[in-house]
Amino acid sequence: MKEWPLAGKKAWGGRFSTDTHKQVESFTASIDFDRRLAPHDIAGSIAHARMLGKCGILTKAEAEKIVSGLEEIREEIARGEFRFDPGLEDIHMHVERRLTDKIGEVGGKLHTGRSRNDQVALDLRLYVREAITAIRDGIRTLQKVIVSKAEVHLNTLMPGYTHLQRAQPMLLAHHLMAYFEMLQRDRERFAGCLVRVNVLPLGAGALAGTTLPIDPAYVAKLLAFPTVAANSEDAVSDRDFAVEFLSCCAILAMHISRLAEELVLWASAEFGFIELSDAFATGSSIMPQKKNPDVAELARGKTGRVYGNLVSLLTILKGLPLSYNRDLQEDKEPVFDTTDTIRRMLDVLPPMLLAIKFRVDRMQAAAAEGFMNATDLADYLVTKGIAFREAHEIVGRIVRYCVESGERLEALSLARLREFCPVFKPDVSKYITAEACVERRLSPGGTSSRRVSEAIQQAKRTLQRP
């Protein structure tokens, strides 16, 4: 057996006398998916090499040679010239092997004071950090579209629902701004998650730290990590940050899915509240009349895989003994898949929403139906000194009468109303129009145009902040 040079051998070749079985190689390889970590792996390695040079563990010349080799490899990968080989298992081995091919034996010094265990934890944190920034930007774009639509529809009435039954009239702008609030919580949640992602695990070594005089704080500075992991064993086995990221994504997807469901309902003939732009709808191969809300349906449907990825990672981690176990290699695909899915949702939703035409006539007509002013009619009686419980009872009887006679509350004559309760005065007719019902809701966070336009102004200020 040829003992030198080491090129072509496994990283653990010294201990082994037989080659790895082909099936084992393909079963354990992660290069097909972890190649996506390449830019982060290289960035982490460059910072590590610089630190080794600064601490005198490598000479300055060695560190510089390694850094420029890594920079060349980064270019090769970016240009698509890098050759991936399943026999080399993962992205870390690929980069290191290529480095040794390029700069010779000194390349083997890069892994000094480091293990793939702390290395891969770092790579994933760098990946998630970048994903969070992109997702938070995407959420902001969606919020901006929502605010712009709300501004246009500050005077559009629609039915507000509970139990999917018409409940009280409200402004379309108010309804849209409810989604702004949900998305704002998402954006804040991701920012909170980022604090826990932003902890440097490098320096933990395989699990227990290293005997070499390394300086993790310097690596943290180079990679813009505000903190360094406090416990090396936790550093290599912790994937809480990824679970938290996937949870944030799951909650965001749930919000998107609720919006998507409303768009699906509203695009139906039964609701008829929106008209989708042709550019964001699809047709049927058999029914020529169809215009389907497939984008909204898929946003709703893809939420399933986003939930699945969270449960998948939680299940991988459940009962895993400390510290690193190879099971942890399975953390990457759920994170990648969720990031891709969420980013695609956030790419397509803003332009789709922007192109939606709200059918104001249908919404306003619906807002005037369904006795949604019944609460206000009871409130009217309260203003005339009737106890609310009694007022509720009186209005209940009036509604029952209207249901039987097919009339609307606001169409009843004063004389008819007085048969139910003598305190009704001529001012009642103005009191129970849908507009009046909406505009009286001046309580904080209520649907009156005054409160909603304040909410819109506040939202615009919020969107200025990072």
Write out the residues near ligand ARG by the rule CB under 6 A: 30, 34, 90, 116-117, 120, 324, 326, 328-329
> Of 30 and 156, which has the nearer Cβ to ligand ARG?
30
Please indicate whether residue 163 is annotated as part of the active site: yes
Please spell the DSSP secondary structure of 409-442, one letter per residue.
GGGS-HHHHHHH-TT--TTHHHHTSHHHHHHT--
d(CA 106, CA 102): 10
d(CA 75, CA 341): 27
Active-site hit among 21, 45, 111, 163: 163
Contact 104, 113 (CB under 8 A): no
Q: Which residues pair with 168 in a beta bridge?
A: 160
> Of 240 and 347, which has the nearer Cβ to ligand ARG?
240
Select from 20, 28, 73, 26 the least CA-distant residue to 46: 73
> Of 122 and 228, which has the nearer Cβ to ligand ARG?
122
Active-site hit among 26, 284, 405, 413: 284
Amino acid in position 284: S
Please indicate whether residue 255 is annotated as part of the active site: no
Please spell the DSSP secondary structure of 204-266, one letter per residue.
-TTTT--SS---HHHHHHHTT-SEE-S-HHHHHH--HHHHHHHHHHHHHHHHHHHHHHHHHHH
Tokens 């081995």 appear where?
93
CB of 87 to ligand ARG, least distance (A): 14
d(CA 216, CA 204): 9
> Of 88 and 281, which has the nearer Cβ to ligand ARG?
88
- CB burial of 264-277 (b: ≥16 within 10 Å; e: otherwise) equals bbbbeeebebbbbe
Select from 105, 100, 95, 82 the least CA-distant residue to 45: 95
**Dihedral angle sign, alpha carbons of residues 318, 322, 327, 330:** positive
Contact 153, 171 (CB under 8 A): yes
CB of 190 to ligand ARG, least distance (A): 24
- Cβ count within 10 A of residue 151: 16
- Cβ count within 10 A of residue 221: 15
> Of 26 and 268, which has the nearer Cβ to ligand ARG?
26
- Cβ count within 10 A of residue 91: 27
- Identify the H or E element spanning 67: helix 60-78
> Of 324 and 358, which has the nearer Cβ to ligand ARG?
324
Tokens 């615009």 appear where?
460
The three-state secondary structure class of 168 is: strand
CB of 131 to ligand ARG, least distance (A): 17
**What Cα–Cα distance (Å) separates residue 322 from each residue in 32, 200, 304?**
27, 18, 30
> Of 45 and 448, which has the nearer Cβ to ligand ARG?
45
Contact 313, 335 (CB under 8 A): yes
> Of 257 and 329, which has the nearer Cβ to ligand ARG?
329
At CA 37, angle to CA 36 and CA 42, rounded to 5? 130
CB of 206 to ligand ARG, least distance (A): 7
**Token pair recorded at residue 5:** 């040079």
CB of 261 to ligand ARG, least distance (A): 37
CB of 210 to ligand ARG, least distance (A): 15
> Of 34 and 62, which has the nearer Cβ to ligand ARG?
34
Point out the residues that are catalytic.
163, 284
